[in-house]
C-alpha cells in the first residue's frame, strides 16, 4: 500500500463505487432541497397568492409541496438502502484487502500478534469504518447544505434576524458535540465497570470451592460488592450526562423559536418584516435541529471511524518478512537434495542455531533428536522458508530457497506438524485439503494408507463427520493421521515430520509408525523424532543441542560413541520397557 495519507486511502475505497456514491449524494441533495424550499415556497403562497384570494393557485402550490414530500420519502428510501449498500460494499472491499494482506504476512508476524485479539480489534474497527463510510459524507453533506442554505435564504428575507439566529447555532452545535463526547466516555466507563463485575463473578464462581474451603465467602462478597458499587456509580454518571444532554436539547429547541419570535416581534413592530416572514423563520429554525444533531454525530463518527481506519492502514503497511525475490524462479523436477549450509539463526537477540551444517541426500531419512528447546523445529522451519536464516544458506537441489518462489518451494514439501490444525468442516474436506482436486477414490486411498480409514468409518457420519468445535473432537493421534493422509494426497518429494510428543497408546503408535514409514518411502525425509521406533528406522541421526549439531551417524554408530544419543536412548528405553 502506498504511503499516502489515511484520508486519501479512505477516499480511494469510494472509487469503485462512485456511481452509488453519486446517487447517494444527489438524493441527499434533493432531500435538502425539499426541506429548504418548503418554508420559502409557503411564504410565497401566503404572501403573493392569499391576499389576491387566488385559492386555486394556493392549493396547487400546497399540493406540489405535498408531492415534494412524497418524493422526499423516495429519496430517503434510496439514501437509506443504497447508501447502506455502499457502506457494505466498501466494508467487503476492506475485508478482502485485509484478509489477503494477512495471508501474506510471515510467521514472525503471527509469533508477535495474538490472532484472536487481532481479529476482534479488526472486527470492531471495521464496524466503525463502515458506519463512517456510509453515514459520514451524507451526514456532513445534508447538514452543511441545510444549515448554509437556510442561512442564505434567511439572509435574503431579513438579515438582522438571520444573524441573531446564527449567533445561537454555534452554541447549540458546541453543546451537542461536547455532550455527546461526555456521554461516550461515560458509556465506556460503564462498559469497563461491567466487564470488571463479570470478571469478579467469573473468578468468584470458579473459585467457589476454594472460597468455601477457606470459609472466605465474606471476603468474596465484599470484593463483589465493591465492583457492584463501582458499576452502579458509573451508570449513575452515564444517566446524569444523558439527562443533561436531553435537558439542554429541549432548552435549545424551545429557546431558538422564542429568540426568533422575540426579536422578530420587535422587527415587526419596527416595520422591518411581516408576520409571514416571521412564520417562515420559525419554520426554518425547526429544520435546524436534525442537521445540528447530525453534524455532531458526524464529528463523533469521524473520530471513531478514522481511528479504526488508521489501525487498518497500519496493519496494511506491515511488510511481510518473507517475500519472493523479484527474479524468483519456480522449483521444478525436484530430486530432494537438502543442504543446510553453515546456518546461524535467531528469532530475537539470542541465536537458536549457530553454524549448523546438514546434508540430506535424495530419498534419505534423517532423524533429528535432542532435548526440548534445542532448535529441532526451528531447523525444520527453515527448509520451507517459514523464516529466513540470519547467516548461511539453505539449499534445495542446489538452489538457495531465497531464490525460489515460496509457492513452488512449499508445493514440494509435505509437513506433518505436531499440533495439527483441522479446519471447521467435514473430515473429508480436511483430507482433501492436501490436494483440492483429488477424487473421492484418491481420498479414501489416502485415508487407508494413513491408517485412519477404520477410525473414520467408526465415526457417526463417516467421511462426512463434522470435526472441531461443533463436531467430533479427534484425538491427537487421529489428527496426525489426518494430516498424514493430506500428505499422501499431496505426494511431495520432500517430507518434514514432527512427531507428537504426547503419549500415545501402543496400537496408535504402531499405526502412526507404519503410516510414517509408508509415507517416507522414496522421499527425502527429515523427522523430528521422539520415539525409539522412529529413530531406529532412520538411516542417519543428528543430535541437536545448544544451537549446534553435537553428534551425527547411524543408530549403531552413535550408541557405540556412548555420547549424548546413547544417554538419550538408554533413558527412553528404560521408560518404555
Ligand atoms: P525444539 O524443536 O528442539 O524443541 P525449537 O526449535 O522449538 O526447539 O526452539 C528452539 C528455541 O527457540 C527455544 O528456546 C524456543 O523458545 C525458541 N523459539 C521457538 N520458536 C520461537 C518463536 N517463534 N519466536 C521466538 N523464539 C522461538
Please calculate the CA angle 384-389-390 and round it to the nearest 5 degrees: 165
CATH 3.40.50.300 fits 324-412+493-502+523-577, yes or no: yes
For atom 24 of ligand 1, the residue with the nearest CA is 347
Give the pairing type, strands 338-346 and 351-360. Answer: antiparallel
Please tell me the distance between residue 98's alpha carbon and the centre of ligand 1 in angstroms: 29
Q: What is the DSSP letter of 472?
A: B
Please tell me the distance between residue 373's alpha carbon and the centre of ligand 1 in angstroms: 6
Give how far Cα 349 sits from Cα of 131, 224, 353, 356, 427, Å: 43, 44, 12, 18, 41
Pocket test for ligand 1, best of 346, 354, 375 (most atoms within 8 A of CB): 375
Pocket test for ligand 1, best of 343, 347, 370, 545 (most atoms within 8 A of CB): 347
Please tell me the distance between residue 12's alpha carbon and the centre of ligand 1 in angstroms: 42
Q: Kindly report the CATH number that applies to the domain delimited by 419-491.
A: 3.40.50.300
Please tell me the distance between residue 340's alpha carbon and the centre of ligand 1 in angstroms: 18
Residues in a beta bridge with 416: 497
ipTM for the complex shown:
0.97
Tell whether ligand 1 has an atom less than 6 A from the beta carbon of residue 347. Answer: yes
Please tell me the distance between residue 375's alpha carbon and the centre of ligand 1 in angstroms: 6
Tell whether ligand 1 has an atom less than 6 A from the beta carbon of residue 418. Answer: no
Residue 354 is inside which H or E element, if any?
strand 351-360
Q: What is the pTM of this model?
A: 0.75
Atom of ligand 1 nearest to the CA of 347: 25
pLDDT of residue 575: 63
Residue 577 is inside which H or E element, if any?
none
For atom 15 of ligand 1, the residue with the nearest CA is 373
Please report which residue ranges of 207-333 form alpha helices under DSSP H: 208-213, 217-269, 275-316
Q: What is the mean pLDDT of each run of 10 residues along the chain (577 residues)?
A: 73 94 94 92 90 90 94 94 90 91 89 74 82 86 91 92 89 87 86 83 81 84 88 92 89 87 94 92 84 82 86 89 93 93 92 94 93 90 95 96 95 88 91 94 94 91 84 81 92 88 72 83 90 80 90 90 87 66
Tell whether ligand 1 has an atom less than 6 A from the beta carbon of residue 156. Answer: no
Domain locations in the chain as residue ranges: 1-158+293-321, 159-272, 324-412+493-502+523-577, 419-491
For atom 16 of ligand 1, the residue with the nearest CA is 373
Please tell me the distance between residue 83's alpha carbon and the centre of ligand 1 in angstroms: 50
CATH of 1-158+293-321, one of 3.90.180.10, 1.20.1560.10, 3.90.420.10, 1.10.600.10: 1.20.1560.10
pLDDT of residue 577: 44
In this chain, the answer to whether the domains covering 1-158+293-321 and 419-491 adopt an identical fold is no
pLDDT of residue 469: 67
Atom of ligand 1 nearest to the CA of 374: 3
Atom of ligand 1 nearest to the CA of 378: 6
Amino acid at each position: 500500500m502506498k504511503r499516502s495519507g489515511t484520508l486519501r486511502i479512505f477516499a480511494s475505497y469510494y472509487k469503485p463505487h462512485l456511481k452509488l456514491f453519486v446517487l447517494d449524494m444527489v438524493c441527499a441533495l434533493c432531500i435538502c432541497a425539499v426541506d429548504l424550499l418548503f418554508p420559502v415556497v409557503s411564504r410565497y403562497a401566503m404572501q403573493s397568492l392569499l391576499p389576491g384570494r387566488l385559492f386555486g393557485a394556493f392549493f396547487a402550490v400546497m399540493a406540489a409541496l405535498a408531492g415534494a414530500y412524497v418524493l422526499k420519502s423516495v429519496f430517503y428510501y434510496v439514501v437509506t438502502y443504497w447508501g447502506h449498500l455502499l457502506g457494505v460494499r466498501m466494508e467487503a472491499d476492506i475485508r478482502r484487502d485485509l484478509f489477503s494482506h494477512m495471508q501474506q504476512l510471515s510467521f514472525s508476524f503471527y509469533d508477535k500478534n495474538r490472532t484472536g485479539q487481532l481479529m476482534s480489534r479488526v472486527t470492531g474497527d471495521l464496524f466503525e469504518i463502515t458506519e463512517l463510510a456510509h453515514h459520514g459524507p451524507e451526514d456532513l453533506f445534508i447538514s452543511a447544505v441545510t444549515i448554509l442554505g437556510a442561512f442564505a435564504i434567511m439572509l435574503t428575507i431579513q438579515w438582522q434576524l438571520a444573524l441573531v439566529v446564527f449567533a445561537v447555532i454555534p452554541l447549540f452545535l458546541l453543546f451537542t458535540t461536547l455532550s455527546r463526547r461526555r456521554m461516550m466516555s461515560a458509556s465506556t466507563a460503564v462498559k469497563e465497570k461491567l466487564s470488571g463485575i463479570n470478571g469478579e463473578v467469573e473468578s468468584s464462581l470458579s473459585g467457589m470451592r476454594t472460597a468455601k474451603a477457606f470459609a472466605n465467602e465474606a471476603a468474596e462478597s465484599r470484593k463483589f460488592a465493591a465492583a457492584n458499587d463501582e458499576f452502579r456509580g458509573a451508570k449513575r454518571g452515564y444517566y446524569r450526562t444523558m439527562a443533561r444532554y436531553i435537558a439542554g436539547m429541549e432548552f435549545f429547541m424551545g429557546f431558538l423559536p422564542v429568540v426568533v419570535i422575540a426579536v422578530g416581534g420587535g422587527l415587526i413592530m419596527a416595520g422591518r418584516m411581516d408576520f409571514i416572514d416571521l412564520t417562515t423563520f420559525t419554520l426554518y429554525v425547526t429544520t435546524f435541529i436534525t442537521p445540528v444533531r447530525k453534524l455532531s454525530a458526524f464529528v463523533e463518527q469521524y473520530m471513531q471511524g478514522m481511528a479504526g481506519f488508521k489501525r487498518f492502514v497500519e496493519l496494511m503497511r506491515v511488510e511481510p518478512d518473507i517475500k519472493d525475490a523479484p527474479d524468483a524462479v519456480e522449483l521444478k523436477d525436484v530430486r530432494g537434495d537438502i543442504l543446510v549450509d553453515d546456518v546461524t539463526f535467531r528469532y530475537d537477540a539470542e541465536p537458536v542455531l549457530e553454524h549448523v551444517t546438514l546434508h540430506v541426500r535424495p530419498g534419505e531419512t534423517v532423524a533429528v533428536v535432542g532435548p526440548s528447546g534445542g532448535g529441532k523445529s526451528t531447523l525444520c522451519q527453515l527448509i520451507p522458508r517459514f523464516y529466513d536464516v540470519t547467516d548461511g544458506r539453505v539449499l534445495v537441489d542446489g538452489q538457495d530457497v531465497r531464490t525460489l518462489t515460496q509457492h513452488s518451494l512449499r508445493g514440494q514439501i509435505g509437513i506433518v506438524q505436531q499440533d495439527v490444525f483441522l479446519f471447521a468442516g467435514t473430515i473429508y474436506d480436511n483430507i482433501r485439503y492436501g490436494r483440492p482436486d483429488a477424487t473421492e477414490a484418491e481420498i479414501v486411498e489416502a485415508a487407508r494408507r494413513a491408517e485412519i480409514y477404520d477410525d473414520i468409518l467408526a465415526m457417526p457420519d463417516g467421511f462426512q463427520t463434522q470435526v472441531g468445535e461443533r463436531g467430533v473432537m479427534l484425538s491427537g493421534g487421529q489428527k496426525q493421521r489426518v494430516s498424514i493422509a493430506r500428505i499422501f494426497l499431496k505426494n511431495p518429494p520432500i517430507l518434514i515430520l514432527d512427531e507428537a510428543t504426547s503419549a500415545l497408546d501402543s496400537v496408535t503408535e504402531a499405526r502412526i509408525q507404519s503410516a510414517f514409514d509408508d509415507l517416507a518411502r522414496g522421499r527425502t525425509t527429515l523427522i523430528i523424532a521422539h520415539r525409539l521406533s522412529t529413530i531406529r528406522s532412520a538411516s542417519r541421526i543428528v543430535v541437536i543441542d545448544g544451537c549446534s549439531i553435537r553428534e551425527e551417524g547411524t543408530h549403531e554408530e552413535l550408541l557405540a560413541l556412548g555420547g549424548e544419543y546413547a544417554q538419550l536412548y538408554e533413558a527412553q528405553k528404560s521408560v518404555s520397557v
